[in-house]
Amino acid sequence: MSKLLKLPLYTQIIIGLVLAVIVGVLLGAGKPVMPKENLQNLALPAVLVLRALSMLATPLIFLSIVNTLLTADLPGGAAKKLGFLLTSNTLVAIVIGLFVANTVQPGNWNSLGKPSPEKVAEIAAKSKGFDPFQLLDSVVPESIIKPFADKTSVIALVLLGLAMGIALRMLKQKQIAESKTDYKPIEQIITVLFTTVIQMLHWVIILVPIAVFGIVARTIAIQGFEPFKSLLVFVVAVILALVLQGCYYLLRIQFGSWVTPKHLLTRGADPLVAAFSTASSTATMPITYETLIEKVGLRKSSASLGALVGSNFNNDGTALYEAMSALFIAQSLHLNLNLSQQFLVMLTSIFASVGAAGIPEAGLVTMTLVFNSVGLPTEYIAILLTVDWFLDRVRTAINVMGDMTVSCLVDGKTAKTAED
């Protein structure tokens, strides 16, 4: 058993998948050999894992934002430019994701299992559209705890995190100027709490292979292999969208930086490979920073802005994935989200990606908040556990490529000189 636990997570998930196929076939492969109600119990680990992820989502997002704002080295005047680059790149990512999801319609290739008409009507009633007044109304919560308790208010949560982070940062700068150190304990508490939540998240992630086993075995036993067709189309669609986002980065670099796309791809491949293999943009951060300075040849200040500061807020691959997942599940449930509902998906995905930490599966955690915000049922995210381990690697590579792009754009159209 301990040998099994030492295997990399993706190997454990693949083993879980293979066992699930065997068990699913033995249990009927679409013609269940026992009452469906009994087979439904196989989904319990996935339900619990999702509930744990969604429980950890709020502290993770909040602490990740406050921690970055409090500890990052952000030179004066850079915040605006960085803010603009990050927002525009994320917007493009989500638009690409929604475009591909609407064109390929991965969820319409097959049903994930039809919920009853009553259930569909109930979900449809909850799937909110974009209402600017209601949105504004919910931005300022009635109490400071509400965004932590109410899972539908991801925007309020992110704004609260930003406000607290900026306030603490200003206080810290003021105290440093006055040679005071009162801010230090709170900075340490925030960092320790953030690390603790990440540790708890690791424990939940250990259970993912069991969850995948249960949900896949149940699905195959009850519905056979049909539902997986659409999942395959979804994987292809997400990869296609992520590749398009990569092309967009190269185009921006071509027109906005002295670095050429070829130069970036040949000299800057290390962090992309590291991101794919670790599925963590934070773990890749030192490699990204080093590569940008040593191999690509950027100024230290630009490298640190994109790779160190940007990487905490800049998760375009994650934003794109969350928006596509919401559309995929909605399509699979035959709920075609209209334009205003998709706009709300876009908005919440932007905020959720800002708060997604650069660690494996963070996108899955924040996705629960996107689903809750637009009224989609989170239990269907369980089926995505099957493919998330792989898509996580691809989207992490795009997250890192986004950070590198921001650094190249900040570095401008002239390469550094000997005086720089």
Specify the residue, 24 or 363, whose C-beta has the smaller distance to ligand ASP: 363
Specify the residue, 160 or 391, whose C-beta has the smaller distance to ligand ASP: 391
Q: Where are the beta strands (DSSP E) in 241-299?
A: none
Residues 245, 93 contacting (CB under 8 angstroms): yes
CA distance 346 to 93: 10
Enter the DSSP assignment of 116. Answer: P
- Closest approach, Cβ 159 to ligand ASP, in A, equals 21
- Residue at token pair 């994650």: 318
- Closest approach, Cβ 68 to ligand ASP, in A, equals 13
Residues 241, 320 contacting (CB under 8 angstroms): yes
Specify the residue, 214 or 358, whose C-beta has the smaller distance to ligand ASP: 358
Specify the residue, 13 or 39, whose C-beta has the smaller distance to ligand ASP: 13
- Closest approach, Cβ 228 to ligand ASP, in A, equals 22
- Closest approach, Cβ 358 to ligand ASP, in A, equals 4
Task: Check the CA dihedral 300-305-311-312 and report its sign.
Answer: positive
Distance of CA 28 to the CA centre of its chain: 35
- Closest approach, Cβ 35 to ligand ASP, in A, equals 37
Among left, alpha and beta (phi > 0; psi -120 to 50; other), residue 179 is left
- Closest approach, Cβ 401 to ligand ASP, in A, equals 11
CA distance 408 to 185: 36
**What is the DSSP annotation of 154-202?**
HHHHHHHHHHHHHHHHHHHHHHHHTT--THHHHHHHHHHHHHHHHHHHH
Question: How does 286-312 read in b/e, with b if 16+ C-beta sit within 10 Å?
Answer: ebbbebbbebbebbeebbbbbbbbbbb
- Closest approach, Cβ 216 to ligand ASP, in A, equals 21
Q: Which two tokens stand for residue 237?
A: 């669609």
Residues 208, 52 contacting (CB under 8 angstroms): no
- Closest approach, Cβ 343 to ligand ASP, in A, equals 22
- Closest approach, Cβ 395 to ligand ASP, in A, equals 5
Give SS3 for 224: coil
Specify the residue, 63 or 279, whose C-beta has the smaller distance to ligand ASP: 279
Specify the residue, 220 or 285, whose C-beta has the smaller distance to ligand ASP: 285
**Residue numbers of the site for ligand ASP (CB under 6 A)?**
279-281, 315, 318, 356, 358-363, 392, 395-396, 399
Q: Which two tokens stand for residue 10?
A: 């993706």
- Closest approach, Cβ 271 to ligand ASP, in A, equals 12
| Alpha-carbon dihedral 161, 163, 166, 170, rounded to 10 degrees | -130
Specify the residue, 93 or 112, whose C-beta has the smaller distance to ligand ASP: 93
Specify the residue, 230 or 318, whose C-beta has the smaller distance to ligand ASP: 318
Specify the residue, 169 or 395, whose C-beta has the smaller distance to ligand ASP: 395
How far lies 100's CA from each of 97, 243, 290, in Å? 5, 11, 34
Specify the residue, 222 or 275, whose C-beta has the smaller distance to ligand ASP: 275
Enter the DSSP assignment of 128. Answer: -
CA distance 158 to 266: 37
Q: Which residue is nearest to ligand ASP (CB)?
A: 363
- Closest approach, Cβ 357 to ligand ASP, in A, equals 7
Specify the residue, 67 or 110, whose C-beta has the smaller distance to ligand ASP: 67
- Residue at token pair 């754009």: 409
Beta carbons within 10 angstroms of residue 255's beta carbon: 8
